[in-house]
Amino acid sequence: MSDQPDAAKAAVVTPVRVVIALCLVAPFVAMLWVGSYAKTDPAFIGIPFFYWYQMLWVLISTALTMLAYKLWQRDQRARAGQKGGASQ
């Protein structure tokens, strides 16, 4: 039996988890930094920059969330494999 509780083992910061966090935080930072996109030019097919930039981030956010989910699944499988391999 280990001296560390399960919560302490689960709170391990790995490079994969940092990438997951960045994928999930990036859309928030991009949308909260309004000064970077509060303008009308360049327009795209007649749509002001302010609107198409936000709609583009809907697609980017979806892709980043899917990537974070897939990385999380892979990380959890790897941890379960290490846990199962260590107990045998």
Report the alpha-carbon distance of residue 65 to residue 52 in Å, rounded.
20
Report the alpha-carbon distance of residue 20 to residue 69 in Å, rounded.
8
Which band of pLDDT confidence, cut at 50, 70 and 90, is reported for residue 38? confident
What is the DSSP annotation of 69-81?
HHHHHHHHHHHHH
Q: List pLDDT tens digits, range 66-84.
A: 999 999 999 899 888 887 6
Is pLDDT above 90 for 6? no
Which band of pLDDT confidence, cut at 50, 70 and 90, is reported for residue 87? low
Q: What is the pLDDT of residue 36?
A: 85
pTM of the model: 0.76
Report the alpha-carbon distance of residue 58 to residue 46 in Å, rounded.
19
